[in-house]
């Protein structure tokens, strides 16, 4: 059923824009019932049907309707590719990656940080992570830094249908930006003050629901902070991040168990809860690459998450698989900007470093 659902979604993306939209029919109904000479269902695409021909003539008489905004079709494709990735990933990880990259491209075209996050999760993209790092700096500084204006001028050259500044008003987009940005060690090494800023940010105490599990933003933000520490080589961060990941996984697993109670939609792969939590799977994939770079113990379902119920481990397993075989997917030509592989790079000055990180560095 998952394959059939994926096939439907990919076919839907290829469908051309219809000649008549729902709004056109609504406009026609404003003048009363449609007079087609029949009470049966009418297929407007049937060129040979007489009733259909009558209605099409009436629709043509209304004149052209207001065209949909360009972003609407791109957003529709982005969401469809995202849903396609969710149903593909459990049975074909490479096909799922391809769908994630298609979704990422559309979301990035819109200007949503979620697109950069999906690209980093699927391939470990350094380019997407670096861009996210610059925008995270803007988010945390709220435009107060004098250098910010110069960076914004460069970003304005990107054609974005909605714009990342508007997108960042949504808590979920802020979390996506955070996860993508802190996967790049060069961003953290260059801006030590980010650690204090992340701890002091209002998001660290925000209860707004985020993601398919609708968990508090503060929980996801805290996971991003632990990911940042892991990126910079704090070994204790692995234990703390594992605990947060397990908490999020348990919630998602419980929701999947509840979704199975719906004996109609669950077998059709149409449950109201996503089978794969992409936020959680992406976090696991990104952190798995960080662990590998830092030569730390990699995530293991059998050791790190052995006590979790099977449904709670679905997104974790997907995330671990996403982090592997990156060479099979397209990657940016420029080399990764890695700091030295000792626990802490040597920045020019450690001003603004949080007390927590200072203690970890001095151990």
Q: With a cut of 50, say whether residue 244 has pLDDT above it.
A: yes
Question: Could you give the C-alpha distances from 6 to 90, 101, 269, in angstroms and in order?
Answer: 11, 15, 10
Q: Which of 8-22, 277-291, 312-326, 330-344 is predicted least confidently?
A: 330-344
| pLDDT digit string, tens, across residues 57-89 | 777 777 666 666 778 888 999 999 999 999 999
Q: CA-CA distance, 362 to 352, in Å (whole number)?
A: 15
Tokens of 188: 């953290």
Mean pLDDT of 265-278: 89
Q: What is the pLDDT of residue 192?
A: 77
- Of residues 344, 334, 331, 329, the one with CA closest to residue 294: 344
Q: How confident is the model at residue 199 (pLDDT cuts 50, 70, 90)?
A: very high
| pLDDT digit string, tens, across residues 142-193 | 644 434 443 443 344 455 677 788 888 899 999 999 999 999 888 888 877 8
Q: With a cut of 60, say whether residue 102 has pLDDT above it.
A: yes
Q: Which residues contact 91 (CB under 8 A, 6 or more apart)?
A: 2, 3
Longest dimension (CA), the chain: 84
Mean pLDDT of 45-63: 73
Residue 210: phi and psi, rounded to 5, are -135, 135
Q: What is the pLDDT of residue 339?
A: 42
Q: What is the pLDDT of residue 336?
A: 41
Residue 209: phi and psi, rounded to 5, are -70, 140
Reported in sequence order, the residue ranges of the chain that DSSP labels E, i.e. its strands, are 209-210, 215-216
Q: CA-CA distance, 216 to 220, in Å (whole number)?
A: 7
Mean pLDDT of 276-286: 97
Q: What is the dihedral of CA 166, 171, 175, 181, to 10 degrees?
A: 30
Query: 283 near 299, Cβ under 8 Å?
Result: no
Q: What is the pLDDT of residue 362?
A: 52
Tokens of 146: 């004098």
Mean pLDDT of 21-46: 67
Q: CA-CA distance, 20 to 5, in Å (whole number)?
A: 26
Q: What is the pLDDT of residue 120?
A: 96
Q: CA-CA distance, 17 to 72, in Å (whole number)?
A: 12
Q: CA-CA distance, 256 to 273, in Å (whole number)?
A: 7
Q: With a cut of 60, say whether residue 311 has pLDDT above it.
A: yes
Please give the span between the terminal C-alpha atoms of the chain, in angstroms, as a whole number. Answer: 53
Q: What is the pLDDT of residue 36?
A: 55
Q: What is the pLDDT of residue 151?
A: 47
Q: Is 262 left (phi over 0), alpha (psi -120 to 50) or beta?
A: beta
Query: In Å, how far from its chain's centre is CA 144?
Result: 28
């Amino acid at each position: 059923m998952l394959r059939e659902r994926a096939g439907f979604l990919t076919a839907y993306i290829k469908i051309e824009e219809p000649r008549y939209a729902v709004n056109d029919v609504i406009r026609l109904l404003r003048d009363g019932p449609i007079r087609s000479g029949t009470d049966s269902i009418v297929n407007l695409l049937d060129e040979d049907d007489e009733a259909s021909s009558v209605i099409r003539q009436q629709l043509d008489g209304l004149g052209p309707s207001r065209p949909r905004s360009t972003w609407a079709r791109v957003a529709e494709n982005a969401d469809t590719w995202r849903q396609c990735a969710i149903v593909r990933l459990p049975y074909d990880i490479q096909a799922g990656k391809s769908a994630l990259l298609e979704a990422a491209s559309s979301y990035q075209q819109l200007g949503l940080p979620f697109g950069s996050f999906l690209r980093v999760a699927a391939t470990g993209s350094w380019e997407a992570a670096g861009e996210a790092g610059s925008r995270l700096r803007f988010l945390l500084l709220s435009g107060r830094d004098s250098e910010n204006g110069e960076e914004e001028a460069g970003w304005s050259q990107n054609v974005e249908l909605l714009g990342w500044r508007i997108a960042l008003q949504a808590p979920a987009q802020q979390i996506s930006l955070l996860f993508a940005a802190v996967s790049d060690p060069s961003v953290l090494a260059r801006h030590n003050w980010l650690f204090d800023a992340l701890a002091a940010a209002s998001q660290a105490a925000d209860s707004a629901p985020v993601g398919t599990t609708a968990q508090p933003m503060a929980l996801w933000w805290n996971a991003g902070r632990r990911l940042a520490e892991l990126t910079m080589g704090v070994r204790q961060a692995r234990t703390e991040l594992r605990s947060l990941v397990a908490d999020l996984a348990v919630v998602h697993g419980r929701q999947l168990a509840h979704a199975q109670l719906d004996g109609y939609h669950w077998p059709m792969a149409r449950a109201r809860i996503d089978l794969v939590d992409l936020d959680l799977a992406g976090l696991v994939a990104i952190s798995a690459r960080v662990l590998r770079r830092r030569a730390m113990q990699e995530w293991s379902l059998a050791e790190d998450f052995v006590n979790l119920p099977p449904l709670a481990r679905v997104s974790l397993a997907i995330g671990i698989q996403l982090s592997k075989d990156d060479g099979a997917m397209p990657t940016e030509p420029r080399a990764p900007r890695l700091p030295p592989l000792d626990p802490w790079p040597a920045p020019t000055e450690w001003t603004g470093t949080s007390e927590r990180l200072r203690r970890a560095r001095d151990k």
